A = this chain, B = another copy of it.
Amino acid sequence: VTFSYTIDATVHTITRVRIAIMGKKTIRDLGEFGAIDRIKKLLPTADNVVEGIGDDCAVVRVGAQLLLLSCDASIEGVHFDQAYMPPKEIGWKAATAALSDIAAMGGTAKFALVTLAAPSTTEETLIEALFQGIAEAATACGAVVVGGDMTSNPSGIILDISVIGEPTKDGRYLTRSGAQPGDLLAVTGHPGESAAGLHAFQRNNEAPALQAAHCIPTARIAEGQYFASHTDVHAMLDSSDGLLQDAAHIAKASDLGLNIDSAKLPISSTLQEYARAQDVTPESYALNGGEDYELIIALAPQDAEKRIAEFNKTFDIRLNIVGTFTDAHTKVLVDGAPTKTQGYQHFQTPD
């Protein structure tokens, strides 16, 4: 039995290698976003799909009810490493990443489904800790875990979390498109801290605040709802792939250009000190570091100061202006100079 398998597998491998030599495109060539674009073209849609593939959540209609739907996978060795992340934090972060997609539309999180794949040698206590982290993150966002799937997976732990939410009462939600020329680019919190925290783990540096930013981020549900309920906020997403790349997503979806003023990046003294000690500019962390799950918005310039003052009075975190959307199509600038987005994109780094 095993032998006939092996032959088949080898033939298959040889075929794959031959195809690669002949120049067949892989998803590494396409990149995560290129692959999503291709698949989007392939899939049928329907009248009850209000927003399909391409935003943080899908928006769909069931009866009279609008729903927000999203899912997010966390894979051992790709998204996290048990060497530095305890299971409860792995669960918390996996759930937060999914719940942040609801925040990024300004919605209310309601339910979560959890798929867990793990080696059969995984200890029961580890599984329980994963689910404790998931449950705490869900509870913090007002959501409840209602089901899922459990399966064996010899190569490591995988969590895939689906979230179901709804828009706030007036039915308003925010997408990536809708930014206007002249809108201000604003971001909550301190982007870049999560990436610096990961760097600290990888180099065995001590940086507890940054490491906590990496392991136990917060989904900005209440802040997202605040933005969705104010019509001077025109577009929104969460900073999962890095401020520069994510802000560029808004610009692209809104058919605009963008200029980021690096002097305005909200860099904490902690990040400043850490970056200096590592001989890196803190701005590179703030622009390119992913997994902060802060909110990035396009804000009408009129009365922007008033909006920011009100936000800062209402919430524990700060909202800061870091750039401007321009009508110069497709160009993303930092301090007026062209730049290449360097945030995270799956498939474009070696496995």
Which residues of A are at the interface with B, using a C-beta cutoff of 8 A? 1, 4-5, 8-9, 12, 16, 19-20, 24-30, 32, 35-36, 38-39, 42-46, 48-49, 52-53, 57-58, 60, 62-65, 67, 69-73, 75, 77-79, 81-84, 110-111, 113, 115, 117-125, 127-128, 131-132, 135, 139, 144-156, 158, 160, 162, 164, 166, 202-204, 346-351
Contacts and interface: CB of A to CB of B under 8 A. Distances in A.
Contact of A81 (B5, B77, B160): B5
9 contacts: A5-B83, A19-B123, A29-B124, A44-B144, A62-B65, A62-B164, A69-B147, A115-B160, A120-B347
A122 B26 contact: yes
A348 B45 CA distance: 40
A162 B113 contact: yes
B152 A155 contact: no
Contacts of A147: 52-53, 57-58, 69-71
A348 to B, nearest CB: 7
Contact of A24 (B117, B124, B348): B124
Contacts of A78: 117, 151-154
A202 B113 CA distance: 33
B83 A124 contact: no
Given A65-B64, A124-B26, A347-B152, A83 B53 contact: no
Contact of A121 (B5, B26, B30, B162): B26
A73 B149 contact: yes
A84 B124 contact: no
Nearest to A97: B149
Contacts of A152: 78, 346-347, 349, 351
B42 A123 contact: no
A108 to B, nearest CB: 10
Contact of A67 (B26, B75, B164): B164
Contact of A27 (B64, B120, B135): B120
Contact of A71 (B27, B115, B346, B350): B115
Contact of A155 (B48, B144, B150, B155): B155
Contacts of A121: 16, 20, 26, 28, 351
Given A73-B115, A158-B117, A128 B5 contact: no
Nearest to A46: B144
A36 B150 contact: yes
A110 B48 contact: yes
A120 B8 contact: no
Contacts of A82: 9, 12
Nearest to A45: B144
Given A60-B164, A71-B160, A160-B160, 13 more contacts: A24-B125, A25-B123, A27-B127, A28-B120, A44-B135, A58-B146, A67-B164, A69-B146, A73-B158, A73-B160, A78-B153, A152-B349, A153-B158
Contact of A148 (B49, B53, B127): B53
A166 B62 contact: yes
Contacts of A148: 53, 71
A168 B151 CA distance: 30
A27 B151 CA distance: 10
